[in-house]
Amino acid sequence: MLLKNRKLYTRKRIAGASPGQISRPEETTATNATLILYDQDSLEEIMAPSLKQIAQALAAPQKIWLNITGLEDVDFLQRVGEIFNLHLLALEDIVHPTQRPKVDDYENQLLVMTRMAHVLDGNELLDLEQVSLVVCPGAVITFQLRPGDCFDPVRHRLRKAGGRIRQYGVDYLAYALLDAVVDGYFPVLEKFSDTIDRLETRVLDDPTEDLIEGIHHVRRDLLTLRRVLWPQREMLRQMMQDDRSLIEERTIPYFRDCLDHAIQLLDILETHRERASGLMDLYLSSISHKMNEVMKVLTLFATIFMPLGFIAGLYGMNFNAQISPWNMPELNFYYGYPLVLLLMLSLAGAMILYFAHKNWIRLPPKTRTRNHKKQKRSPSP
């Protein structure tokens, strides 16, 4: 699995520019909106609502969830900001998808920045998309860069009457959305675990050079995930502060449970990072072991043939016993050639047995013949 973009929190801004300027993001889609009005007894969904319908929803007694997908229409975003009286700095952070997970407390508003994990292109490409939540009195506004999210379980719970999400306030809706974002990382980390398992198997079975690139990609991707999950944990911790007027006391235990899930993610992530770091050491050890095995085999062959080459060279000097004052033994012997070959084979076999006795090499195990003899039956009483 690869990350689509590892460059997080890199913001391009002109030095000395006035704060609160809103510009169209580079990677975004056309702006669409969905308005959900709900209370304990009723639910109304409005697809592509107009600005007038959004403004009229503020006067309704129901709670509001406005989900905006795509940040291409900057004028629409500014009008929505005017309707809900959003701070200019909050709008500036929303349209710049380079923010680290955080929570900003404006006057009677909470701006929550988080990252949502998307798996693209056949479960091989991972995209970390910025999602912004604005919690206002009686309303939650979410901003996404492109269509597709992990909020379908929340929508299903809203459509189901009698649930806790319909009875509690908008702070519980904000918790449910953040909890869906956090839980979306668990299958992502499971895929990274499968990738590390495959790399470990390949490193042990066939350590090739192309594994280095795969190990490096996994280590970088896990480091990027850590840069996302670590501030996300701190953001959830800040959501439970006592001075949050928009967070009710009965909702704090649910945020604490969401924080616990984020801590579990960090624990799993650290485990994967340690395994990925150990893959390089395992790869180098496997390569070294493989090289040692090759060198051992070559050294054994060279050691065995050294005395054989000495014997062949000694008897290949071609000195004539009749001319030389020193008589070379067995030079004119009739069975000299087969005896020398037998000597060579015996010497090679003795060396192999000696190496096996020293555990320098391993001989193949002896094949045991099965005993087909029938066992004697004990006499019956």
CA dist 287 → 2, 195, 218, 361 (Å): 26, 21, 20, 19
* Contact call for residues 195 and 1 (beta carbons, < 8 A): yes
Output the six-digit token pair for 178: 């953040």
The token duo for 197 is 């398992």
At residue 164, what is the residue type? R
pTM: 0.75
pLDDT tens over the chain, length 381 residues: 566 655 565 555 555 556 666 777 777 888 999 999 999 888 999 999 999 999 999 888 899 999 999 988 899 999 999 999 998 889 988 988 888 899 998 888 999 999 998 776 655 677 888 999 999 999 999 999 888 888 999 999 999 887 889 999 999 999 999 999 999 999 999 989 998 999 888 888 877 777 888 888 888 889 989 999 999 999 999 888 756 778 888 999 999 999 999 999 999 999 999 998 888 888 888 777 777 777 877 788 788 888 888 777 766 766 565 655 566 666 666 777 788 788 888 888 888 888 777 777 777 776 444 444 444 444 444
What does the pLDDT look like over 327-380, one tens digit per residue?
666 666 677 778 878 888 888 888 888 877 777 777 777 644 444 444 444 444
107-144 burial by CB neighbour count: b if 16+ within 10 A, else e? eebbbbbbbbbbeeeeeeebbbbbbbbbbbeebbbbbb
Q: Could you say which DSSP state residue 204 is in?
A: H
Where is 127: in which H helix or E strand? strand 125-136
Amino acid identity at 330: E
**HSE-CB of 169 using CA atoms within 13 angstroms:** 14
What's the rounded Cα separation, in Å, for the pair 231 and 227? 7
Helix, strand, coil abundance in the chain, percent, nearest 5? 50, 15, 35
Residue 18: both structure tokens together: 């006035």
Q: How many Cα atoms occupy the beta-carbon half-sphere of 209 within 13 Å? A: 0
HSE of 22, CA atoms in CB hemisphere, 13 A: 19
174 within 8 A of 200, measured Cβ to Cβ? no
Q: What would the pLDDT profile of 40-81 be if each residue is shown by its tens digit? A: 888 999 999 999 999 999 888 899 999 999 988 899 999 999
Domain boundaries, the chain: 25-286, 293-357
Q: What is the CATH number of domain 25-286?
A: 3.30.460.20
